[in-house]
A and B are shown apart, each in its own frame.
Chain A
Amino acid sequence: MHTDLAIGIAGSGGDGVILLGELLSKAVSKAGLNVVLTKSFGPQIRGGESSSKIRVSDKPLSYAGDKIDALLVFHWADLMRFKSELVLKRDAVIVVDEIDTTPEDQIPLPEHYKGRIRRVPFEQIALDTVNTKQAKNMVMAGVVNELFNWPDDGIVDYIQTRFAKKGQELVDQNIKAVQAGRDYVKNNLHDVTTMKLEYDRRESQIFISGNDAFAFGCLCAGCRFMAGYPITPASEVLEFMARELPRFDGICVQAEDEISAMCMTVGASFGGIKAMTTTSGPGLALKQEAIGLAVIAELPVVIGDTQRGGPSTGLPTRTEQSDLNIAIYGGHGDCPRVVLAATDVRECYELAHTAFEIAGAYQTPVIVLLDQYLGHSLMTVEGINLRHKDPKEDRKWFVANYRPENWNEKHGNIKDYEGMDKAPHWRLCPTPQELKEEIYKRYTLTDNGVSPMSIPGMPGGEYTAVGIEHNEHGGPSSSHVDHQAQSEKRFRKFEDIAQKYVLFDKSCDIDQPKLGILTWGSTFGVCAEICDLLNQAGLPTQVIAPTIMYPLPYKQIQDWMNGLEQLITVETNFGDQFYHYIKAFLEMPEKSYHYSRAGGIPMRLSEVLNFILYNIELPDNFDIEFAQERLNW
């Protein structure tokens, strides 16, 4: 009996393995289990090979897992491209369509698996039952269903919604094909596996990709303007917003280029709208000048970056954590901006809220780093804290306080808003009194660097936002005194942010860790699982990942590192960007190690664990066999 199972499916164009992966994952999330679904594609736009990898457990899952317990393929040729991604465990179950005629010596698997391959006539069953071989993926769904005691919750519903447009006949055919797959297993394969999922049904869970979760978070945070340009692997954020924003009285625009997307966002923000853009590496490079404008003009904007392999076009469909440097240091001049990094899909939703909160409160650009692995993986998110900051409330506040002559019935009773001196969830604005007395200065020097910002439509608050250095009034100035004062002001905001936003994820809540794993972004998930394992094996370990990369919670990380005997930093990029960043500001323990490599595939448990076991000093009572067993999985 299993409570943690991973299966891989590979096929080529028209086989429907992506749909199959979604169908099987959805069934699992409906039953209340946790699931991580990763999809992988060949370079073709249509057709070509594709694969789905699904990991299921009744315990929270932090990453996609390394090796798989079962592999299902229609043709061996389809597996070739994914050999490095779909790696089998020793005792894995292997099922292939009977129709494949590859000679045994050409099957792309190590010798010891070959005796255990089972052949199932997926295509033939489909032909026999519903008279079309296209339903073979549904037959496979039925096989998985029966073979692994896989939950079938909502499978019928899913087929119904997915194929409704194509007619009831097709829906019925697919449902029939699933049943045929099940029956085949009952009659022919009952002896194949003891790998049955064991679980209790719970409430269904939200099952969402990182990109969608981020977009959803932004919408919930009150974002009502998005400008973006299509770019892999970030386009889904733009697509989500294009669907949802018009329904929420917002605007989503596909700009003519990355620069213009950034500039439109800046323009909308100047107009008082919560505004965002998203992109990937090449786009972030193009947006830099306009991000600098938002820094000096002090306009709140949120920029999502779903990272991919770089530089230049690099690996557009593959994950990497290599935009840390450009996110923090990419601007010309002294150009501070907040950088956040999501560690998992839930964090994509949460950080969207945090990003808009910080951007608004500190009138600054906020870059949120995701990566292709997070952006495209679908994961279940337990107990998401759903909240909506509806900007309609801000609008009412604005009209009540600044433009009561524009008040009308649709805003309700004006008395509701009397005496409200602060926007419900907005930026710091000058009070109507300040504006009337004509003492308002847009870039006035304050203790925490945040100066009241008037929004077009506020009488008396008129000013010219400028990309040129300026005095407190916003008038252009080339005086070194003004430049010093305004630079200090812009950096002062970050001292305040560093105090108020000490954000990091921590795993394994133990008192005195001996080994610390310091990582960031999506690599946190795999490190958390390693951390669990090391603790079980007898090495007190803790992993932390800052989710605010700039300004970094220096003090807290330093205090944590001071208590460690050994430290290892882990990241998925070739240039050790995070390691150098930490090293520049903090004192690492004497015994510090670093593991990194270029992206392309997400960090694996086995490679990091291997590095740790060979390099870290292990305590005498360390159960090396227990740890190594995991390597051999």
Chain B
Amino acid sequence: MTDVTTQVEKKTFRNHVKPIWCPGCGDHSVLACLVKALDSLELNITDTAVISGIGCSSRLPGYMSCYGMNSIHGRAIPIATGLKMGRPEMTVVITGGDGDGFAIGGNHVMHAVRRNIDLTYIMMDNGIYGLTKGQVSPTTPIGYKTKTTAYGAYEKPIAPLEVMLAYGCTYVAQAFSADMPRLQELIVEAIKYPGFSFINVISPCVTYRGGSQIYKDLKPLLKPIGAEHDIHDWDAAHKIARDKTRLHVGVLYQERRETYQETQDDLKQRAPHAEAPSVVDIAKKYR
């Protein structure tokens, strides 16, 4: 038997499928960084899964060679949650866009944070619905004209970093897709971090949100969070999150809190155990 068994081999996380993304899309870089990060972590494709919902960025699992799911709009978080709860030994990463995470799937984010389940959520924030070809998204800036805001967007955009901090997320970071070494580093760190980790990646859509000019506009705003920032200081993190004049990149906040898995281990200790729980004993209770 053992001779036919496939041993887990070291394989790269990138498969051979060519992405459907437009040239210049930030998601290409995020894919490259995620692959490099996973490769460098010496994880294997057999025990890793990348889960997504629907959207341009949610196509990402299809370009990975590990296990994964490209599911339904907004539901990547609960699906990844179910997988991680059932198979805690696996490494589970969620990828998706701002519409997927903060519009249709908005309710799930706060509850994943509340459970502090050990998932890494990489949100590719492009401020537009790209897959459906250019409608307003929860992070589109006020005034920006999209196909569904013909006279300019008029609803106050969601600020993902502020929201995640307010939810009590234990790992909040921001990155820029064009700033690849740092992005890769942040992904490595987020995956290693026990608990729910969130990286907001500004990943421009050159087709529906600003053309290639957007890179030129964003680059001068880039400001790495310096060593003087105390990542355990929530107020300081919140101050950075509120500053929209710059594109702050790096870790804003970190906090070690009991993970879902740890609470479960504790709960299993507290549940009344016979030496071996048996269904016969349960039946007896009904007699």
Q: Which residues of A contact B (CB under 8 A)?
A: 29-30, 204-208, 212, 216, 219-220, 224-225, 227, 244, 246-249, 251, 253, 255-257, 259-261, 263-273, 275, 289-290, 292-293, 297, 384, 386, 388, 400-405, 418-419, 431-433, 435-436, 456-468, 475-476
Contact = CB atoms under 8 A, between A and B. Distances in A.
Given A402-B5, A419-B1, A264 B85 contact: yes
A204 B78 CA distance: 44
B164 to A, nearest CB: 16
Contact of A456 (B47, B61, B264): B47
A290 B72 contact: yes
A401 B5 contact: yes
Given A225-B86, A273-B86, A402-B6, 8 more contacts: A225-B82, A255-B78, A271-B83, A273-B87, A275-B82, A292-B72, A436-B6, A459-B8
Interface residues of B, number: 58
21 contacts: A206-B287, A224-B86, A244-B277, A246-B267, A256-B110, A260-B111, A265-B82, A267-B78, A268-B82, A271-B82, A271-B83, A271-B87, A293-B72, A386-B280, A400-B1, A432-B4, A456-B49, A457-B46, A462-B67, A464-B64, A464-B69
Contact of B1 (A216, A401, A462): A401
B101 to A, nearest CB: 14
Contacts of B75: 259-260, 263, 290, 293
Query: Lowest 5 CB-CB distances: which A-B pairs, in order?
Result: A267-B82, A264-B82, A263-B78, A268-B86, A267-B79
A224 B286 CA distance: 21
Given A30-B287, A466-B69, A467-B72, A404 B279 contact: no
A271 B78 CA distance: 13
Given A402-B5, A456-B67, A260 B78 contact: yes
A464 B280 contact: no
B79 A263 contact: yes
Interface in B1-36: 1-2, 4-9, 17
Given A246-B271, A456-B90, A459-B6, A259 B82 contact: no
B1 A266 contact: no
Given A249-B268, A435-B6, A464-B69, A259 B86 contact: no
A59 B75 CA distance: 50
B66 interface: yes
A30 B285 CA distance: 12
Contacts of A29: 287
B43 to A, nearest CB: 13
A401 B111 CA distance: 37
Contacts of A475: 17, 62
A463 B64 CA distance: 9
B116 interface: no
A401 B224 CA distance: 49
Interface string B266-285: 01100111000111101100
Nearest to B61: A464
Interface in B80-133: 80-87, 90, 107-108, 110-111
Given A29-B287, A273-B87, A419-B1, A464 B82 contact: no
Interface of B: 1-2, 4-9, 17, 45-47, 49, 51, 54, 59, 61-62, 64-72, 75, 77-87, 90, 107-108, 110-111, 264, 267-268, 271-273, 277-280, 282-283, 286-287
B184 to A, nearest CB: 22
A462 B2 contact: no
Contacts of B17: 475
Contact of B67 (A224, A246, A388, A463): A463
Contacts of A261: 78
B6 A432 contact: yes
A114 B127 CA distance: 76
B75 to A, nearest CB: 4
A292 B46 CA distance: 26
Contacts of A269: 82
Scoring A253, A263, A266, A271 by chain B CB atoms within 10 A of each residue's CB, the highest score goes to A263
Nearest to A400: B1
Nearest to B75: A263
A256 B82 CA distance: 13
A572 B179 CA distance: 63
B107 A267 contact: no
Nearest to B114: A256
Contacts of A206: 283, 286-287
B78 A456 contact: no
Contacts of B68: 463-465
A253 B272 contact: no
A414 B83 CA distance: 27
Contacts of B7: 405, 459
A464 B62 contact: yes
B41 to A, nearest CB: 17
B70 A268 contact: no
Nearest to A460: B6
Contacts of A403: 5, 8
Given A29-B287, A271-B83, A259 B279 contact: no
Contacts of A457: 46-47, 87, 90
Contacts of A468: 70
Contacts of B271: 246-247
B1 A270 contact: no
Nearest to A225: B86
A384 B287 CA distance: 12
A462 B65 CA distance: 7
- Which of A273, A384, A401, A459 is most buried by chain B, counting CB atoms within 10 A of its CB? A459
A272 B87 contact: yes
A467 B70 contact: yes
